[in-house]
């Protein structure tokens, strides 16, 4: 969870109010940050390792080349391999089993050993429903809320954490399946004019009209029913899409919501982390100290480690929607690039055919600079009467890969 990396710039213990100089980073320790949740899904499980960082640095440092494994008291051992910097995935898929206690073990590249307290699978409870409604939020902003409902008839779940993954379709508004190609020309002999460039229109190698962009939740979303008679989550909002995000809904939008059942200790950890991240007094009041999870140094009891090893049951649901499903009374939102109403008709001829630099035509310069062919210019002249055969657009207006990827997700439904 990137949020953990973003907010753990200064660490706290619940109730710690000792004053420190938050501007002085000379004594800041690069603490190990562990993000580890395994679930009852039979999947390739994932663990992330990084180092905390002070506010005046560029960002977290991924912890690479570590040995990572999870050990169950049933004798099973699961080895994790690093598939990208700081991200470790289990070599084989596996699922957490009820009644089994698991521990996380880490040995860093420099030989330091870390472990976790034993954790077992949380209660099993299904996410009943995910749905969306056009509403006003507490700040009075109109938008689209994504709600969840859940109910545990046995009343033993009580603590919930939510994550979401949202994907939206992007369509390049001024796409053409052809591109303009500058053909190489021989250099002229001394005293001869530079040849007029030959620019041909050729088919693209691959289409780049439709793309998909996926983003994950960047906040801690938790809920509890401990104070309620029933263990019921009702109309709990996990996502609110405001007006400035309506472009995500323009063509088609999908959101996958995951519900994790937490232990009381995991819930307290995430709740405190969330409260700390939302504090407006982050740099001015109640600083200092350390935020403790269930991960520790095996060899040095005084070394601080950030993170929580969680064994959680999870369930999920996906929904699809579009802008017109909810906002048909409003004008369609602008696409992701609001500059796509600009068109260019650069001239083909050069200013001075005897000068190698000046002989590069405005059309060549535009194509080399990244403008894309959109259509033939009719009539083929610019405002000054110079020969301008093509209409060009900004790269991002004719190529969707500026915002997403062309590969259609396996689960996508149109």
Domain carrying residue 360: 174-206+343-393
pLDDT of residue 275: 82
pLDDT of residue 59: 62
- Domain end among 327, 354, 382: 327
Task: Assess whether 129 and 248 both reside in one domain.
Answer: yes
Q: Kindly list the distances between the CA atom of residue 264 and the CA atoms of 38, 161, 182, 268, in Å, as whole numbers in the listed order.
A: 17, 11, 65, 6
Residue 264 lies in a domain: yes
pLDDT tens-digit map of 141-164? 999 999 999 999 999 999 999 999
Task: Assess whether 157 and 222 both reside in one domain.
Answer: yes
pLDDT of residue 194: 67
pLDDT of residue 289: 47
Q: How many domains, in total, are found in the chain? A: 2
Task: Assess whether 61 and 188 both reside in one domain.
Answer: no
Residue 404 lies in a domain: no
pLDDT of residue 9: 45
Task: Assess whether 383 and 321 both reside in one domain.
Answer: no
Task: Assess whether 305 and 367 both reside in one domain.
Answer: no
Residue 267 lies in a domain: yes
pLDDT of residue 259: 98
Task: Assess whether 15 and 82 both reside in one domain.
Answer: yes
Residue 17 lies in a domain: yes
Task: Assess whether 59 and 186 both reside in one domain.
Answer: no
Task: Assess whether 257 and 362 both reside in one domain.
Answer: no
Report the C-alpha gap between 209 and 395 in whole angstroms. 12
Residue 333 lies in a domain: no
Residue 370 lies in a domain: yes
- Residues of the chain below pLDDT 50: 3, 5-28, 280-289, 353-354, 356-358
pLDDT of residue 285: 39
Cβ atoms 250, 333 nearer than 8 A: yes
């Amino acid at each position: 969870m990137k949020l953990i990396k973003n907010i753990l710039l200064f660490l706290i213990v619940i109730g710690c109010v000792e004053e420190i100089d938050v501007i002085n980073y000379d004594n800041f320790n690069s603490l190990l940050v562990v993000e580890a949740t395994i679930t009852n899904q039979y999947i390739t499980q994932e663990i992330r390792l990084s180092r905390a960082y002070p506010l005046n640095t560029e960002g977290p440092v991924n912890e690479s080349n570590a040995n990572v494994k999870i050990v169950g008291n049933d004798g099973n051992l699961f080895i994790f391999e690093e598939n990208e910097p700081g991200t470790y995935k289990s070599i084989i898929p596996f699922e957490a089993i009820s009644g089994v206690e698991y521990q996380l073990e880490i040995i860093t590249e420099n030989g330091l050993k870390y472990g976790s307290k034993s954790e077992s699978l949380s209660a099993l409870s299904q996410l009943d429903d995910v749905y969306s409604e056009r509403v006003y939020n507490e700040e009075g902003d109109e938008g689209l809320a994504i709600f969840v409902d859940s109910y545990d008839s046995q009343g033993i779940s009580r603590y919930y954490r939510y994550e979401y993954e949202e994907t939206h379709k992007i369509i390049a508004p001024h796409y053409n399946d052809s591109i303009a190609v500058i053909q190489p020309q021989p250099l002229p002999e001394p005293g001869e004019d530079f040849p007029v460039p030959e620019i041909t229109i050729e088919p693209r190698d691959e289409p780049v009209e439709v793309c998909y962009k996926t983003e994950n939740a960047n906040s801690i979303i938790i809920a509890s029913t401990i104070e309620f008679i029933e263990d019921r989550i009702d109309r709990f909002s996990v996502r609110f899409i405001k007006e400035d995000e309506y472009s995500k809904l323009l063509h088609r939008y999908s959101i996958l919501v995951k519900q994790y059942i937490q232990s009381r200790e995991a819930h307290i950890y995430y709740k405190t982390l969330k409260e700390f991240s939302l504090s407006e007094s982050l740099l001015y009041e109640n600083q200092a100290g350390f935020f403790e999870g269930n991960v520790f140094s095996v060899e040095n009891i005084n070394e601080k480690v950030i993170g929580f090893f969680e064994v959680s049951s999870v369930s999920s649901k996906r929904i699809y929607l579009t802008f017109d499903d909810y906002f048909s009374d409003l004008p369609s939102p602008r696409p992701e690039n609001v500059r796509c109403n600009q068109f260019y008709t650069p001239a083909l001829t050069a200013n001075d055919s005897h000068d190698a630099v000046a002989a590069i035509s405005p059309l060549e310069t535009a194509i080399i600079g990244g403008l894309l062919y959109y259509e033939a210019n009719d009539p083929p002249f610019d405002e000054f009467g110079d020969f301008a055969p093509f209409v060009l657009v900004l790269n991002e207006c004719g190529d969707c890969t500026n915002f997403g990827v062309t590969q259609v997700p396996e689960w996508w439904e149109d």
